[in-house]
Amino acid sequence: MASALVGDDLTRQEEDEEELRWAAIERLPTYDRLRKGTPMLTQVLANGKVVHDEVDVTNLGMQDKKLLMESFLKVAEEDNEKFLRRLRDRTDRVGIEIPKIEVRYEHVSVEGDVYVGSRALPTLLNVTLNTIESTLGLVHLAPSEKRKIQILKDVSGIVKPSRMTLLLGPPGAGKTTLLHALAGKLDKDLKVSGKVTYCGHEFHEFVPQRTCAYISQLDLHHGEMTVGETLEFSGRCVGVGTRYEMLVELSRREKEAGIKPDPEIDAFMKNTAMAGQKTSLVTDYILKTLGLDTCADIMVGDEMRRGISGGQKKRVTTGEMLVGPAKALDSSTTFQICKRTGSLPRAHPAALVTDKLLR
């Protein structure tokens, strides 16, 4: 009985200490409050005592990152969707709706002038003839041997947010061309008609690269960079976007409502919303969910350098399997990538379009 009372007293004491820490964080100015994580790093000391350490989320050490990742993502296959749900639940509690993007394509037609037959082969003779023909064609001295090919004809549809869309069609049906059109990456030589809009806005009204992504079936990476460096470089190029502004509003609403956020989710969101960091938890999260944490320090490699396997390169490109054939991939690798990215639309207002069909 005495030991039980002592245990209850210790529990109440720990809860009181945590409440005092949280109250101190709440009194900080907004800028400082966003840089401080709630007491969330749980450690068990040698004497068996459990302590909660408060940290600066913009300066997490390797051990701190490892502890945080293990706290909410022990087994990626099982915990990833739960983690995404926890992120979504935090914004839903205070009535913040994450912007959704609906893609509409109306009467899209694409045609191009191409060489057919033996002239389409990339031989030295054909390249020479093509160069001479294009030069003479500028002054109308030689007719073009190119023929018009209709790639897409009057295609219309809608890509809904929070959905995973499967694009089906036989080889050569124009699946890749349609995905290029949706991402605004069509070749300038193609003749395009129709309209593609994102929430009613056409491509000239915003920066498509900040809103959508298309990755071809080719693995184009810097062979001398490690897997972790490649993902970190990509993240820094894209930036944090509007995450910081959203976190400021989220923190303000939670303070007004007297809501104490989930400490693990709070630390993750604060770390990923801060710009200018050399490393981010986003990289660790992607490495973990795509099963790349075991090869994070290995060079990607290329034709001249030994690196990671073909399946791991597909994982590095993350969304590359969404377009074109999954060459040199076993069914397990393709399934894992599709499964892990497929959980995004169920928890966040993202839209995925894929032409993969797992049999």
Each residue's pLDDT, cut to its tens digit, for the chain (359 residues) gives 445 444 555 566 666 666 666 666 666 666 666 665 554 555 555 555 555 666 667 677 777 777 777 777 777 777 777 888 888 888 888 888 877 888 999 999 999 888 887 887 888 988 888 888 888 877 777 777 788 888 899 999 998 887 778 888 888 888 889 988 998 888 888 899 999 999 888 988 888 877 777 777 777 778 888 888 888 887 777 666 677 788 888 888 888 888 888 877 888 888 777 766 666 777 788 788 778 888 888 898 888 888 888 777 877 876 334 323 333 333 344 445 555 555 555 545 555 565 554 43
Task: Output the six-digit token pair for 36.
Answer: 């401080």
Q: What is the pLDDT of residue 194?
A: 92
In the prediction, which pLDDT does 109 show?
93
Rg of the chain over CA atoms, in angstroms? 26
Q: What is the DSSP letter of 262?
A: P
Give helix then strand counts, H and E, for the chain: 13, 7
CA distance 353 to 163: 9
113 and 208 in contact (C-beta within 8 Å)? Answer: no
Q: How far apart are CA 214 and CA 232, in angstroms?
A: 19
H helical segments located in the chain: 2-26, 30-35, 62-72, 76-93, 124-138, 175-183, 227-238, 243-257, 263-273, 281-289, 310-316, 331-342, 344-347
CA-to-CA distance for 237 and 231, rounded, in angstroms? Answer: 10
In angstroms, what CA-CA distances link 73 with 23, 58, 70, 164?
Answer: 28, 20, 5, 23
10 Å Cβ neighbour count for 209?
Answer: 13
**What tokens appear for 87 in the block?**
């992120």
Q: Cβ of 318: how many Cβ atoms within 10 Å?
A: 19
Place of tokens 């609906």: 102
pTM of the entire predicted model: 0.68
Q: Render the burial of 2-31: b for 16+ CB within 10 Å, e for the rest.
A: eeeeeeeeeeeeeeeebeebbeebeeeeee
Nearest to 286 by CA among 318, 314, 321: 318
Check if the beta carbon of residue 109 is closer than 8 Å to that of residue 154.
yes
* CA separation for the pair 202, 184 (Å, rounded): 10
* Phi, psi torsion values for 329, nearest 5 degrees: -110, 135
C-alpha dist (Å) from residue 28 to 32, 211, 348: 6, 34, 31
